[in-house]
Amino acid sequence: MSSQRTAVENLGARGRSWGRIALVLGIAGLALGLWLGSARGDGFRRFEHAWLVSCLFFLSLSLGALFFVIIQHLVRAGWSVVVRRVAEIVAANTLVTALLFAPLVVQLLRGDSSLWPWADANTVHGNPLLEGKAGFLEPRFFALRCVLYFGIWILLGRWLLRRSTEQDTAQDAKPTLALERRAAPAMVAYALSVNFGAFDILMTLEPTWASTIFGVCFFAGSVIGFFALSILLLRFLQARGFMRASVGVEHYHDLGKFLFAFVFFWGYVSFSQFMLIWYADMPEETFWFRERFHGTWANVSWVLLFGHFVLPFAALLSRHTKRALGVLAFLAVWMLCMHAVELFWLVMPTAEKDGALVSGMDAACFVAVGGIWFFALARLAGERSLVPVGDPRLPESLAFENS
């Protein structure tokens, strides 16, 4: 087995045509979304919320991928080499998300407080909780922090992809060693930026509410999203004839185990957040959950408990579901849907106080951001090999079997 060489496969022309389809869908979604958003006559307030949910969804997939790639280098993993390139491409696809996210920050700088209410001086004035942190929740400082977070994510993702791609032709162990050495500081930068990024972008939507575990909850959801996406991308590519010689059921089994582990972890951290706030019962904290148990939002909360944790936990527990690829793919689709529901549940109650309402505009925004994101993903994949063919641990990954 160890002498086996893998042929270089890339998306090539098919990637370009998939990218074009995605772009057309994206632009159509954008046009429809903008039209539906303006038709509401609320100064694009609801549209901005929908746009934020979509941006965060695709951003979180890249952030989950970034975590996966960094940790593979950090622990010198061997099994994952064949599935790592797809993850690297997903992780590097943050520039497009930054560009899609930027209009929201520009609107904020122009004085639009429909998304982040702390930008409105009238809201802050007379509220001691908000006045105390007015220097921190300040549009320009906020924009600067966003630049910093996205800068870290873009640089990390690009660097990991570039060094790994270099190895495809050079057949050289040096990039592996360099990636291993720098994975640890990269992880530090990642942890800080994701933790505080989640506080800034998501938690300040409700500026008087704070929870120290919030960043960890967002991280857990992101990693679930990535593993689900990774399983689906690999199934999609294999169904179209790519990577058939390299990725097998053993690799899916391991991705399924990680999906299971992070479903469990998500349940653990979400329960910690909910239970501690419920138990202490302090009104300055409980209002956040009260909003999410008000009207039809309560249904969404219950859907998350069972759909995001209990059912997938039970379903993924068995070895058979992780090795039956059809079942695993179904669960991956399920988890991606639940991840979208979770982000909707995190963002939208500030805009839809009375109950959970999904509109055509939410779907349009999702297609818009998703289409453009997948277009960029296909371009990034481009002529690159879909497997890190020069990685010194490739033979180990090809021969990998779960004992």
Partner 1 sequence: MTASATTQAHLEEPYARPKLVEGAEDFGAVTQRVCGVLERPKPPRAWYIGLAISSSLTLLLFTMVVYLIATGVGVWGNNSPAFWGWGIVNFVFWVGIAHAGTLISAILFLLRQKWRTSINRAAEAMTLFAVCCAGLYPAIHVGRIWVAYWLFPFPNQMQMWPNFRSPLLWDVFAVSTYATVSALFWFMGLVPDLATLRDRSTTRLKQVIYGFFALGWRGSARHWQRFERAYLLLAALATPLVLSVHSVVSFDFAVSQVSGWHTTIFPPYFVAGAIFSGFAMVVTVMVPARELFGLKELVTIRHLENMNKVILATGSMVGLAYSTEFFIAWYGGNPYERFAFMNRAFGPYAWAYWIMIFCNVVAPQFFWSKKIRTSPWLMVGVAILVNVGMWFERFVIIVTSLARTYLPSNWGYFKPTWVDICTFAGTIGLFFTLFLLFCRFLPMVAIAEVKGVLPAAHAHPEHPKGGHDHG
CA-to-CA dists, residue 326 to 255, 315, 390, angstroms: 14, 13, 31
Give the one residue of 63, 101, 393, 398 binding partner 1; rule: CB under 8 A. 393
Distance CA 308, CA 267 (A): 8
Are the C-beta atoms of 56 and 384 separated by less than 8 Å? no
For partner 1, give the closer residue by CB, 291 or 396.
Answer: 396
Given the complex with partner 1, which of 137 and 361 has the nearer CB atom?
Answer: 137
DSSP notation for 12-73: HHHHHHHHHHHHHHHHHHHHHHHHHHHHTTSTTHHHHHHHHHHHHHHHHHHHHHHHHHHHHH
- Which letter, b or e, does each residue of 141-169 get, where b requires 16 or more Cβ atoms within 10 Å of its Cβ? ebeebbeebbebbbebbbebbebbbebbe
Binder of partner 1 out of 176, 222, 230, 321 (CB under 8 A): 176
The verdict on 396 binding partner 1 (CB under 8 A) reads: yes
Is the CB of 118 or the CB of 373 nearer to partner 1?
Answer: 118
User: Using CB under 8 A as the criterion, what x/- string covers residues 279-298 for binding partner 1?
Assistant: xx-x-x--------------
How big is the site for partner 1, counted in residues (CB under 8 A)? Answer: 46
Nearest in space to 194 (alpha carbons), one of 220, 215, 223, 213: 215
Q: Rounded distance, CA 343 to CA 59, Å? A: 11
Count of Cβ atoms closer than 10 Å to residue 272 Cβ: 14
Span from 118-126, 146-154, 244-252, 394-402 in contact with partner 1 (CB under 8 A): 394-402
The CA-atom distances, in angstroms, between 71 and each of 146, 245, 267, 377 are 24, 25, 22, 22
Degrees to nearest 5, angle at CA 23 with 17 and 27: 150
Instruction: Pick out residues in 133-172 that bind partner 1 (CB under 8 A).
Output: 133, 136
CA–CA distance, 360 with 353 (Å, rounded to integer):
18
- The least distance separating partner 1 from the CB of residue 279, rounded to whole angstroms, comes to 4
The answer to whether 193 contacts partner 1 (rule: CB under 8 A) is: no
Give yes or no for residue 212 binding partner 1 (CB under 8 A): yes
Q: Does 188 bind partner 1 (CB under 8 A)?
A: yes
Q: Closest approach of Cβ 317 to partner 1, in Å?
A: 9
Q: Which of residues 70-89 bind partner 1 (CB under 8 A)?
A: 76, 78-79
Cα separations in angstroms, 54 against 101, 155, 295, 363? 9, 22, 24, 9
- What binding mask, one character per residue, do residues 344-383 give for partner 1 by CB under 8 A, x or -? ----------------------------------------
Q: How far is the CB of 271 from partner 1 (least distance, A)?
A: 9
CB nearer to partner 1: give 284 or 354: 284
Query: Are 382 and 10 within 8 A, CB to CB?
Result: yes
In the complex, what is the shortest distance from the CB of residue 42 to partner 1, in angstroms, rounded to a whole number? Answer: 29
Kindly tell me which of 174 and 240 has the beta carbon lying closer to partner 1.
Answer: 174
* CB 360, min distance to partner 1, A: 36
CA distance 253 to 403: 11
| Interface residue list for partner 1 (CB under 8 A) | 2, 76, 78-79, 128-130, 132-133, 136, 173, 176-177, 180, 184, 188, 191-192, 195-196, 199, 208, 210-216, 264, 268-269, 272-273, 275-277, 279-280, 282, 284, 392-393, 396, 399-400
